[in-house]
Amino acid sequence: MNEMSKNENIDIQIYNFAYLDENTKRMIRRALLKALCIPGYQVPFSSREMPMPYGWGTGGIQVTSACLIPKDVLKVIDQGADDTTNAVSIRKFFQKTANVAVTEKTSDASLIQTRHRIPETKLKEKQILVYQVPIPEPLRFLEPRETETRKMHALSEYGLMYVKLYEDIAKHGHIETAYAYPVKTNGNYVTDPSPIPKFDNPKMNNSPAIQLFGAGREQRIYAIPPYTNVKSLDFEDYPFEAMKANFKCSICGSSDSYLDEIIVSDDGKRSYICSDTDYCKEQTKLNSKKEDQL
């Protein structure tokens, strides 16, 4: 027992606070400040090799690392869940290297790192939401030349972005894009909200929390400051629609949270549960309280 706690102490000494060295954190903070000043603009930064592969959220982890302070309370979610491999590993990583308090409760957290979801519980001021971003460039698959996409952003030539939505409607009769749905930030830059479901897009608009986006492999950081207008692109006759599976959560019974579809038997029986595990737990608690009162 004694030996174990000794080892933990050594771990903390080996790593600088939150793993990255102070100069790197300073460089990232500079990029973050610039990103906050120009909402939606992709700021290049010198992404570091992290002790995990690209695609595990190295961008988000670097941003979190640069933002963490010792009194922070950290929450990490992956597809809305606190208990998946990715979320658990990243949470442990910061417990080990920064020794910060962690939580699963959205309302208790001061910094939330997320992959693919925005928590259902409304975020507050003084909270930071850090997104892990695989592809920061919304125009990537429409215009392969990065020199050209940069120019298109600079001159706000976004006709091509609408061509993608046009193609969706022409092919499927509606806008089929269901995740990474492009938004216009502060009426200026078209931004990729990372692969969150379009159900979450309205939560980005006018959010009291700071939203930071880190793309490690692509070496880009961008941000949406609090209370910024974020509008999902659409056509006049095909307006944006935040959609979800039309069921109730089979655990908590909530009908207004985003649902995961789960196949529960060999003959294809399906069940739907909240993707946000914290929200689901809260709702279940509320329900049992109501039952007790009855």
Rounded to whole angstroms, the Cα distance separating 157 from 286 reads 48
Residue 40: active-site member: yes
CA dist 281 → 51, 73, 115, 119, 220 (Å): 32, 19, 20, 13, 35
What's the min distance (Å) between Cβ of 166 and other proteins? 5
For other proteins, the binding residue among 160, 177, 231, 240 (CB under 8 A) is 160
Is 45:222 a contact under the CB 8 Å cutoff?
no
What's the min distance (Å) between Cβ of 133 and other proteins? 25
167 binds other proteins (CB under 8 A): yes
For other proteins, the binding residue among 37, 163, 243, 286 (CB under 8 A) is 163
What's the min distance (Å) between Cβ of 64 and other proteins? 37
Residue tagged 């789960």 (tokens):
262
- 96/164 with CB nearer other proteins: 164
For other proteins, the binding residue among 146, 235, 243, 289 (CB under 8 A) is 235
CA dist 49 → 24, 45, 216, 220, 287 (Å): 11, 13, 9, 14, 46
List the structure tokens of 124: 């507050």
236 binds other proteins (CB under 8 A): yes
For other proteins, the binding residue among 6, 71, 171, 290 (CB under 8 A) is 171
27 binds other proteins (CB under 8 A): no
Rounded to whole angstroms, the Cα distance separating 81 from 259 reads 12
The count of other CB atoms within 10 Å of the CB of residue 239 is 9
Of 37, 159, 252, 253, which one is the catalytic site residue? 252
Residue 280: active-site member: yes
Residue tagged 């929450």 (tokens):
75
Residue 37: active-site member: no
Residues lying near other proteins in the complex (CB under 8 A): 155, 157, 159-160, 162-163, 166-167, 169-171, 235-238
Residues catalogued as catalytic: 40, 249, 252, 274, 280
